[in-house]
Structure 1
Amino acid sequence: MAKYRAGRINEEMKKEISAIIMNGLKDPRITAMITITDVEVTSDLRYAKVYASIFGTKEQKEESLEGLKSSAGYIRREVGKKIQMRYVPELIIVVDDTIDRGMHIDELIRKANEQKDQ
């Protein structure tokens, strides 16, 4: 599969999964704000790793992740309706904590700059 095709499929799936989570899921466990940061589809289009960034308390994050994982079949079916592909990839949902780590590093830099100025 050409590299540009994989990128297009990744972006299209990311867009559709985000829309489905925002508009179509009615799971009461999903209370935190969820952002789909990336989707990586394997070259044979059988599996897709969905990276989700979840904002909220620790309990909200755990409940929302459980809700997302249990809704993976529904999300997969809806993606299959919207995107015409021979195989609709099985979704593997992974928590993406890069934003949290970035905020932590930013906080450390800010504290170091404050101490340097004193």
Structure 2
Amino acid sequence: MARDYERSQRVASQLQRELADLIRHEIKDPRLGWVTVDDVEVSRDLSVAKVYVSTLEMDRIDTTLEILQGAAPFLRHELGKRLHIRQIPELRFFKDTAIEAGMRITQLLDELKKEEPKDE
């Protein structure tokens, strides 16, 4: 069973690279800004891929997710041409919240430093 997990990790890594390239070069929607594919999680049976994305304009992330979900069949077809696996996973796009969480933690740490009394 350990090999299956390793395979899903390798497939996820390859999907991340290929999706980033496809989104950057093949999707011509003008509403789509700069998109970063931050992470891909593939189910153990390789049937579903959760794709976590972020944009520079996070206030437009909902529009970006709609565009990408609409382009999912096209992206899946193109992945089929590039990858040498029997079944290309169904693509589901999600907002990556890791950056926001990191910024919030940094903000909280900065506030703690300001409140910390200075020893003289």
TM-score range, shorter chain: 0.7 to 0.9
Structure 1: gaps (5+ residues): none
Partner of 2:51: 50
Look up the SS of the partner of 2:94 in the other structure.
strand
Counterparts of 1:4-43 in structure 2, within 5 Å, are: 4-31=6-33, 33-43=34-44
Structure 2: gaps (5+ residues): none
2:60 is the alignment partner of 1:70: no
Distance in 2, matches of 1:65 and 1:29, equals 11
The C-alpha deviation readout for 1:48-86, integer Å capped at 9, x for no partner, is: 11111233141x222211111111111111111100111
The answer to whether the Cα contact below 8 Å between 1:46 and 1:89 also exists between their aligned partners in 2 is yes
Distance in 1, matches of 2:18 and 2:117, equals 47
What percentage of aligned pairs have identical amino acids?
Answer: 34
Higher CA-based Rg: 2
Question: Which residue identity is paired with 1:48?
Answer: A
What is the alpha-carbon root mean square deviation over aligned residues? 1.6
TM-score relative to the length of structure 2: 0.87
Q: For residue 117 of structure 1, report the CA deviation from its aligned partner.
A: 5.0
